[in-house]
Structure 1
Amino acid sequence: MEYVDVAVIGGGQSGLVAAHALLREGLQPVVLEASGAAAGSWPRYYDSLTLFSPARYSSLPGMPFPGELDRYPHRDEVVAYLTGYATRLDADIRTGHRVTGVWRGDAGFEVEVADGSVLAARVVVAASGTFGHPHRPVLPGLDGFTGTVLHAADYRRPEPFADQRVVVVGAGNSAVQIAAELATTARVTLASRAPVKFVRQKIAGRDLHFWLRRTGLDIAPLGGLLRRPPTQLVIDDGRYRAALAQGAPDRRPVFTGIDGAKVCWTDGAREEADAIVLATGYRPDLPYLAGLDGALDAAGHCRHRGGASATVPDLAFAGLEWQRSLSSNSLRGVGRDADRIARHLAAHLRTQ
């Protein structure tokens, strides 16, 4: 069995910055990434995805995002940035290593990999993100829909839906962006429980993220005060509000039922649909912690305080939504949380 200081599970943005912070604390992390590249879920997002934060606010610690600072980077630019960050990071990063279980062991933890190998780690950082656990809400009649149902995690581009009738469920950034893109080739309805709430991308000539940083809202430690994240706002430069106003897509309340291929709307109308896209978010992807007593609650959510496990002293989390602040699971904010958990774990090891 191989013995390591820290096993970091996940080699995306959260795992990479966790490794960076741990190295600064004098620890030697081993990063275990399930996919074939240290870029996390970014290569699997839909083709047109563009950041809502400018490059100047999208950097990880120790490496500025390259290029013009006020542009909004594309998905592939983020992938290239993360792989470059991993290359510069002096850490042991092992791709193709999917963790299947974590248990208590003599040296702290035993971390099992899909190939059957086991690492003994003094501490563990769970940084596997959420993309591997798409949230599929219970919607009336959805299980009996005879058309195509897919989550936004499986959506790539609009061309396969040309001339089809498509319903996109959701009211967040991805839902609106995907629905508007699909509306260029298909007849699309955005179905949501409440109307979409927009916030302007630029205020007084400055990007929203400038104001979030200037006011301190971006880093305010609100995560522990909120039982649930607040209603998501859709960041818009004007085009998405205009698209909805023009009915491309149109917006309606979520359907009341489904009969075969027919969607039943709240006004009594029934119409056939070809596809339903669930842009309904994600949940922490932590199945490997199921056998670690106390790490997760009955619903599978991690018990933590600011990223440090509330029940397992030598376990920490990185990249959770609202882990500590509004920006905790973003490129611009995950580094701050990583520094905190690295200091916490280093102090814990010194007391052992």
Structure 2
Amino acid sequence: MAGQSRKWMILVATIWIQAFTGTNFDFSAYSSEMKAVLGVSQVQLNYLATASDLGKAVGWSSGLALMWMPLWAVMFTAAVMGLIGYGAQWLVVTNVIALPYFVVFLLCLLAGCSICWFNTVCFVLCIKNFPSNRPLALALTVSFNGVSAALYNLAVNSLNHSSSAVYLLLNALIPLFTSIVALIPILRQPVVDPVASDLVRRDQLTFLKLNLLAVITGLYLLFLHPSNSLTACLLFAGAIFLLILPLGVPGIIYARDWFKRTIYSSFRLDGSGFILVDAEDLELHKELLSRPNSVTNGLTTDSVNIDGQKNGSDESC
């Protein structure tokens, strides 16, 4: 039963990874500043935007890496790729270092490859832990990837930073922090056992609730816009709360299993009624009733003896 709650913890971890690793969606936020620092044309800037998607063309490398590396190592490799790719771009935009255009292009490729590696980790986790409902698990986690740009926008506005280069800094650090948070559920993956049909239907109902929560999260980020840094901070805290809310699913499952083990199992159905008796006392009671000199048999024997004596007295008279 503990495995049931742990597999939902893994699903929540994949939701967090997807929500904070769609870093290629916020390129337009810092593209103008990057264009000015590099001194490139609009066409060259468009090539940099394309490079992030081209990095996914070598995403097959994540599959090869899984043949030789554990899943958590692949996840942290993706985080390091993003740290190097976006971190070096942040240093370039903030004029800390100077790099040629071709090197920046390669950094964009590296950052795009990190996104693909993160996606591979999430897909493997969903397929492994939800073999009976893998389409629902994959669709749910991928849906959270689209909220990354809105989350990063709220994070930057809450910091009230004048330079848009902070997007690059957050793109480098937040996926790494998310990987650290998701490490414990990934290391404690449950053993996958065959799931009964009633549990599959119950999981489908849980997925329906999580999909409704995903819709609420998307609408929240779509229609609520910050007017100042304080409002942005409050909205960002609300978004984090919506992402933490799915943690209630494994908590509810664990509480339900605990109730079945401790409370429900203490009631025993015997015949047509419930007997709230300790198991050892019940066995002792049955043993006493089965003895020949039990109370019931004793009463029956005594009554027979009395009747026999009475009949003997009558005959003697």
Indicate the TM-score class for this superposition, using the shorter chain for normalisation: under 0.3
More helix by share: 2
Structure ID, larger Rg: 2
Q: Normalization by structure 1: what TM-score?
A: 0.24
Bigger relative contact order, structure 1 or 2 (CA pairs below 8 A, ≥6 apart): 2
More strand by share: 1
